[in-house]
Amino acid sequence: MDQIVNVDEFQELAKQALPKMYYDFYNGGAEDQHTLNENVQAFRRIMFRPRVLVDVSNIDMSTSILGYPISAPIMIAPTAMHKLAHPKGEIATAKAAAACNTIMIVSFMSTCTIEEVASSCNAVRFLQIYVYKRRDVTAQIVKRAEKAGFKAIVLTVDVPRLGRREADIKNKMISPQLKNFEGLVSTEVRPNEGSGVEAFASSAFDASLSWKDIEWLRSITKLPILVKGLLTREDALKAVEAGVDGIVVSNHGARQLDYSPATITVLEEVVHVVKGRIPVLLDGGVRRGTDVFKALALGAQAVLIGRPIVYGLAAKGEDGVKKVIDMLKNEFEITMALSGCPTIDDVTRNHVRTENERIKSML
- Classify residue 53 as exposed, middle or buried by CB count within 10 Å of its CB (0-12, 13-18, 19+): exposed
306 is in an annotated binding site: yes
Q: Are 189 and 199 in contact (CB under 8 A)?
A: yes
**285 labelled binding-site residue:** yes
> Does 177 appear as a known binding residue?
no
Q: Is 286 annotated as a binding residue?
A: yes
The response to whether 11 counts as a known ligand-binding position is: no
Strands (E), 164-316: 225-230, 246-249, 280-283, 302-305
Four-residue CA torsion sign, 318, 262, 64, 73: positive
Q: Is 130 annotated as a binding residue?
A: yes
* Selected catalytic residue, list 34, 82, 86, 252: 252
Q: Please report, for residues 291, 326, 331, 353, the alpha-carbon distance to residue 5 in angstroms, rounded to integers and kept in the order given.
A: 16, 11, 11, 27
Strands 68-70 and 63-65: antiparallel
Residue 229 in marked binding region: no
Q: In sequence order, which residues have a C-beta less than 8 Å from that of residue 73 and are 6 or more positions away?
A: 61, 63, 292, 296, 300, 301, 302, 303, 332, 344
Check whether 307 is labelled as a binding-site residue.
Answer: yes
60 among the known binding-site residues? no
Instruction: Judge whether 81 and 314 are in contact, CB under 8 Å.
Output: no
Cα–Cα distance, 179 to 184 (Å, whole number): 10
Question: Does the annotation flag 260 for ligand binding?
Answer: no
79 has binding-site annotation: yes
Tell me if 144 is assigned to a ligand binding site.
no
* Residue 272 bears catalytic tag: no
Give the CA-trace dihedral at 191, 195, 197, 200, to 10 degrees: -60
Dihedral angle, C-alpha 79, 84, 85, 88, nearest 10 °: 100
Confirm whether residue 218 is marked as ligand binding. Answer: no
107 is in an annotated binding site: yes
Question: Any known ligand binding at 320?
Answer: no
- Is 208 annotated in a binding site? The answer is no
Is 321 flagged in the annotation as binding?
A: no
Contact (Cβ atoms closer than 8 angstroms) between residue 242 and residue 211? yes
Residue 288 one-letter amino acid: R
Q: Within its chain, how far is the Cα of 322 from the centroid?
A: 16
Q: Residue 261 and residue 14: Cα distance in Å, rounded?
A: 27
Mapping DSSP to helix (H, G, I), strand (E, B) and coil, where does residue 106 land?
Answer: strand
Q: Catalytic amino acids?
A: 252
Residues in binding site for glyoxylate = 165, 252, 255
Residues in binding site = 78-80, 107, 128, 130, 156, 165, 228, 250, 252, 255, 283-287, 306-307
Residues in binding site for FMN = 78-80, 107, 128, 130, 156, 228, 250, 283-287, 306-307
